[in-house]
Amino acid sequence: MSNQPLTPIEIGLTAAIVAVSGQVNGCANGQISSNEPLILTAAGDDGLTGLPFGPFDALRHRTFEIGLRAWVAEQTGLRLGYVEQLYTFGDRGRHAQPGDTDVHVASIGYLALTRVTDEAIRAPGATFAPWYRFFPWEDWRKDPPEIIARDILPELTAWAAQSETDAPPRALSRRDRVRLYFGTDGAPWDEERVLDRYELMYEAGLVEEARRDGRPAALARRTLPPLGVSMRFDHRRILATGIARLRAKLKYRPVVFELLPGEFTLTELQHTVEAISGRHLHKQNFRRLVENNALVEPTGLTSTQTGGRPAALFRFRREVLQERPAPGLRVRARH
């Protein structure tokens, strides 16, 4: 048996709590436009923005999810509805500096969806912020983001052209990954590859988190391009995982209705799907898809808050859950 001392381990719980600004009134004091995907953030003592997180108390909480719900309610006043586990993030360095021998934190990431307002949040420094503030290259609702061609691809192209003799063997070369993840040279843009794109930029040393973690590729650069707002620890990696999971799940589970009020217009439904997917959708094709999938049913009421003609109100048709195994919205973008 080894005589080396055991490294103490602490289990943390980190929550990516998502809302949409069309359903979150008064968020960030009105400084956020409507139909924006939002993430609940918390300011840290180090001045960096992070996700809500806290330790798992095995004496108080029977399961990880019970623990997550309990401390989110205690810290923010939110009583979470839809919650699912994402992944366990345990890389050494995520809560430590190089050479640190203190407790090693392994964090279990969760995705949660809510419709609540900022008024319900009690924690000082906690607020909803647009997730495209942290991932500006992911918002394709109008046009391909300028930041990709201007700041990202030149750096990635130069990095991919470097020798890979010292790099671990990979099934795909750097050039292949740049092409597939960023949709260059004829490859399509895949909105679900959020984590792949972030990991690639981290590996290339283009994000601030790579510099903080002491990655050689980042330390070798004099300056880093301003590629979105960095976050505490590995919280931007956890958020990327949550966005990718939610974008994929839209296509085979009716999770979008967790972000909408009980009654909504088809335009509100479309804008919510566009906000999450980061893609602009053809109006008539989207409505045909919703109709063919029988996901909603009319309430017989109308809304006069559309700024134009009264719009019919719909609600989620829950019977669809018993009718087929994968009732989602397999949308196709116009780009």
Domain ranges for the chain:
9-133, 138-228, 261-323
CATH topology of domain 261-323: Arc Repressor Mutant, subunit A (1.10.10)
**What number is the average pLDDT over the span 48-72?**
89
pLDDT for 26 equals 42
Geometric angle at alpha carbon 327, from 325 and 329, rounded to 5°: 145
pLDDT for 114 equals 92
- Domain 261-323 in the same topology as domain 9-133: no
pLDDT for 285 equals 93
The CATH number for 9-133, chosen from 2.60.40.420, 2.60.40.290, 3.40.50.720, 3.90.79.10, is 3.90.79.10
- Please choose, from the candidates 25, 184, 12, 169, the residue with its C-alpha nearest in 3D space to the C-alpha of residue 91: 12
Distance of alpha carbon 18 from alpha carbon 20, whole angstroms: 7
Mean pLDDT of the chain: 87
Q: Is 90 exceeded by the pLDDT of residue 159?
A: yes
pLDDT for 105 equals 79
pLDDT tens, position by position, 173-230: 999 999 999 999 999 999 999 999 999 999 999 999 999 888 899 999 988 889 999 9
**What number is the average pLDDT over the span 293-303?**
93
Geometric angle at alpha carbon 112, from 177 and 281, rounded to 5°: 60
Q: Is 80 exceeded by the pLDDT of residue 101?
A: no
pLDDT for 106 equals 84
Cα distances from 317 to residues 6, 10, 81, 219, 251, in angstroms, run 53, 43, 18, 53, 16
What proportion of the chain, given as a percentage, has pLDDT over 90? 57
**What number is the average pLDDT over the span 103-128?**
80
Distance of alpha carbon 128 from alpha carbon 283, whole angstroms: 28
pLDDT for 16 equals 96
What residue has token string 């989602």? 328
**What number is the average pLDDT over the span 234-240?**
95
The band of 2, judged by pLDDT with boundaries at 50, 70 and 90, is: low
The band of 28, judged by pLDDT with boundaries at 50, 70 and 90, is: very low
User: Taking a C-beta distance cutoff of 8 angstroms, is the pair 299, 315 a contact?
Assistant: yes
Distance of alpha carbon 2 from alpha carbon 299, whole angstroms: 68
